[in-house]
Structure 1
Amino acid sequence: MAIVIGADRLGNIENLLDECGLSVLKHITGRSPKAQAGNMVSMSHAKVMILFTDFVGHNVMRNFRKQAKKQNIPFIACKRTISDVARNLERYGFM
């Protein structure tokens, strides 16, 4: 299971995650002020957190990175492109 932050729609990225044996546990678009505050997200079943850097700011990224580190799950920051997501998933051993 993956927590995805950023982007309004995931498109083909959801299919890529399925191919890697991951499903989307939670998708946070990052548009709402609550999401931008980086409120604590339940990660009890998450295997990875993916944040799209072209859709959120530095503070949002910092807050979610801290959460992932605190809960000891991999944090992937990448652009919202299939190739970038695939490359990062491979780097962390999900492909």
Structure 2
Amino acid sequence: MQAYLVGADTLGNIPDVLNQYGIAIHKHVSGRNASHQRKPASLKGVDLIILFTDFLGHNVMRHYREMAHEENIRFVACRRSVCALSQSLDKVCTKQCETCPAATANGRKH
């Protein structure tokens, strides 16, 4: 699964948490640059959008949520912490547990 991350200047331990869920980072934008604050041209190849709310303005979040809805891509909005991200991913991943390759490969129960 490929994720598009929006928000946060640095990711810290976030890539490790995503790896546990079988999620790779497709692209990461901080959201500070003016070009990051508009809808991206395309989200081709992205399965999940992760919005770190403590680093984003309302308009930036709205643009990415709308695009996710238009392209039928799931999105998660949470604070930039390992615990908050894990809790949000647990909610999203429970719907696809039986078919999730990460659940069987990592022995992880969502």
Give your verdict on TM over 0.5: yes
CA apart distance, 1:49: 0.2
- Between structures 1 and 2, the one with greater helix share: 2
Matched, 1:84 2:71: no
Cα distance change, pair 63–7 in 1 and its aligned pair in 2 (3 A): same
Q: Tell me, in whole angstroms, the C-alpha distance in 2 between the residues paired with 1:74 and 1:86.
A: 16
Tell me how far apart the structure 1 counterparts of residues 39 and 69 of structure 2 sit (CA, whole Å).
15
Higher relative contact order (CA 8 A, sep 6+): 1
Q: Which residue number in structure 2 is paired with residue 70 of structure 1? A: 70
Equivalent in the alignment of 1:19: 20
Unaligned runs of 5+ in 2: 95-109
- Summarize deviations over 1:41-84 as a string: whole Å, max 9, x none: 42221111000010010000000000011111111110001011
Query: Any gaps of 5 or more consecutive residues in structure 1?
Result: none
**Count of residue correspondences:** 94
CA RMSD of aligned residues (A): 1.2
Moved over 3 A (4+): none
Q: Which structure: larger Rg?
A: 2
Equivalent position amino acid for 1:30 in 2? G
